[in-house]
Copies of this chain bind each other. A is one copy, B any other.
Amino acid sequence: MSEPSTVTDPADPRLADYTGLTDVELRRRREPAEGLFIAEGEKVIRRAVEAGYRMRSMLLTPKWLDVMSDVIQAADAPVHVVEPGLAEAVTGYHVHRGALASMERKPLPEAADLLVGARRVAVLEGLVDHTNLGAIFRSAAALGMDAVLLSPDCADPLYRRAVKVSMGAVFAVPYARLDPWPAALETVRAAGFQLLALTPAGADDLAQAAPHRLPKAALMLGAEGDGLTQRALAAADRRVRIPMAHGIDSLNVGAAAAVAFYAVTAG
């Protein structure tokens, strides 16, 4: 461990990882380029560490020093102690969870490697909303999906908001990018998976398709609103729908994902 040190200057270069956290565009560029991501709050930080991510540094308000003492002990990373006002000046928002960690990214695995030994995978296309993406990861992990595969235009699962909404589930279920899209879907099929596209216009009921009986199933989901693109639909083996009632035209994508993950993993 290194001794926690108090920082009082918002321009201190040791706080550079934490500047402008509310500037989504800036952070989306910076974090992958610099190989870092931000974990926020005690639980999420602990889960990131347990998942084997290396800590670059921590930023804590004083009252979190005790609670996090075991994490500080175990980590070989500088701990910067700042007053709440300084945390806000640096990050751009009131850090009410009082604890942030800058963590080092790991190299993303290849999709083909993730598929070895997997039986149920989620394939997400165009999920640009960090809240929906985080919620889907939480459900994917909780319901026992083996991996998540992302189209190149999906948002970053390690973006702070996605990590937070997922309650750290983005660390629990492995993920990779499918690139080029949708051609790389062939990798999934070649690994023995049947590609099921979830779409309100699907020919078959999800229940009738009995996805839990498939040896290997990949569930394809598109973004809220637009759903899967025609190109992605064309690449699927089968189109399935969740039956709708009461004149409602669609489920929220997070709800649809939870239902589909349950249908493919339960029983």
Q: Is there a chain B Cβ closer than 8 Å to A86's Cβ? A: no
**A1 in the interface (beta carbon within 8 A):** no
Q: A255-B255, A266-B206 are in contact. Are A245 and B135 (CB under 8 A)?
A: no
Cα distance A256–B247 when bound, in Å? 22
| Closest B residue, CB atoms, query A135 | B252
Interface residues of A in 122-147 (CB under 8 A from B): 135, 138-139, 141-144
A-side interface size class:
35 or more
> What are the residues of chain B within 8 A of A135 when measuring CB–CB?
252, 254-255
A142 touches B251 (CB 8 A): yes
Q: Does A248 contact B (CB under 8 A)?
A: yes
A155 part of interface (Cβ distance < 8 Å): no
A29-37, A88-96, A104-112, A166-174 - the one binding chain B: A166-174
Q: A206-B266, A258-B258, A263-B262 are contacts. A172–B251 as well, Cβ < 8 Å?
A: no
- Complex interface: chain B residues within 8 A of A255 (CB): 135, 138-139, 142, 254-255, 257-258
A74 contacts partner chain B, Cβ-Cβ < 8 Å: no
Indicate if A244 sits at the interface (CB-CB under 8 A).
yes
A19 close to B (CB within 8 Å): no
Question: Beta-carbon contacts of A234-251 to B below 8 Å, as 1s and 0s?
Answer: 000000001111111011
CB of A13 within 8 A of chain B? no
Q: In angstroms, how far is the closest chain B Cβ from the Cβ of A77?
A: 24
Task: Judge if A52 is at the interface, Cβ distance under 8 Å.
Answer: no
Q: Tell me if A11 counts as interface (CB < 8 A to partner B).
A: no
Which residues on B sit within 8 Å (CB–CB) of A256? 258
Residue positions of A touching B, CB distance < 8 A: 135, 138-139, 141-144, 167, 169, 172-173, 205-207, 242-248, 250-252, 254-259, 262-263, 265-267
